[in-house]
Amino acid sequence: MSQFFYIHPENPQARLINQAVSILRDGGVIVYPTDSGYALGCMIGNKHAMDRIVNIRQLPEGHNFTLVCSDLSELSTYSLVNNTAYRLIKNNTPGRYTFILTATKELPRRLMTSKRKTIGIRVPDNQIALDLLKALGEPILSCSLMLPGEEYITQSDPEEIRERLEHQVDLIIHGGYLGQEPTTVVDLTEDTPVIMREGSGTITPFI
């Protein structure tokens, strides 16, 4: 059975944040809040935890995971970013965007798409997520919380999430009742940005 933490959305309790980090480092799968709803997350290097997320979501082979980062300092480790792309990302983060970038060799091969070797990266505008990421010291491997057979994320109530997933994850963070909207996905692998999905982030800066 999973643990269930009530964490203040504006002033996250450091003790609970550190406990959540310990669960991640021990190979756990967590549910945590972002600015576009609740997400499933685990450590980048833990294949077993990633496989658990795949099983929960019943994801197809080759599903694109996202690296959720605390800031832009980790961009160059996991992705190739030219000056134009960097400025666009810097000017629009934290925010409701996922940026598709060319992956570096630092990223495990199983996380890249087979054809293009790309990775999605985002910096969420959510204090709990940012504090968690800063305490962890590296990105969280994540995907949206959308259960099999349902439309885009329907779980905005952490109590309902607990009822449905408490035996499948190690921690659920209650960070409030969140609206569930997909991020805007922007491909920055080429010189000109390409909008892959129009979501809650305005596309104006990229057109």
Domain boundaries, the chain: 3-197
Express each pLDDT in 4-46 by its tens digit. Answer: 999 999 999 999 999 999 999 999 999 999 999 999 999 999 9
Asked whether residue 64 carries a pLDDT value surpassing 90, the answer given is no
Query: What's the whole-number average pLDDT of the chain?
Result: 92
Res 165: pLDDT: 93
Give the count of alpha carbons within 13 A of 21, CB side only.
18
Express each pLDDT in 99-130 by its tens digit. Answer: 999 999 888 877 865 566 899 999 999 999 99
Q: Is 166 helix (H, G, I), strand (E, B) or coil?
A: coil
Res 174: pLDDT: 97
Average pLDDT over residues 151-169: 81
Asked whether residue 91 carries a pLDDT value surpassing 60, the answer given is yes
Average pLDDT over residues 78-93: 94
Distance between CA atoms of residues 147 and 46, nearest Å: 21
Asked whether residue 151 carries a pLDDT value surpassing 80, the answer given is no
The pLDDT confidence band at residue 153, using thresholds 50, 70 and 90, is: very low
Res 110: pLDDT: 78
Least Cα distance to 142 among 66, 69, 60, 52 occurs for 66
Least Cα distance to 102 among 187, 203, 206 occurs for 187
- Residues 12, 17, 20, CA angle at the centre, nearest 5°? 140
Asked whether residue 147 carries a pLDDT value surpassing 90, the answer given is no
Asked whether residue 184 carries a pLDDT value surpassing 70, the answer given is yes
Average pLDDT over residues 71-90: 93
| Architecture of the 3-197 domain | Alpha-Beta Complex (3.90)
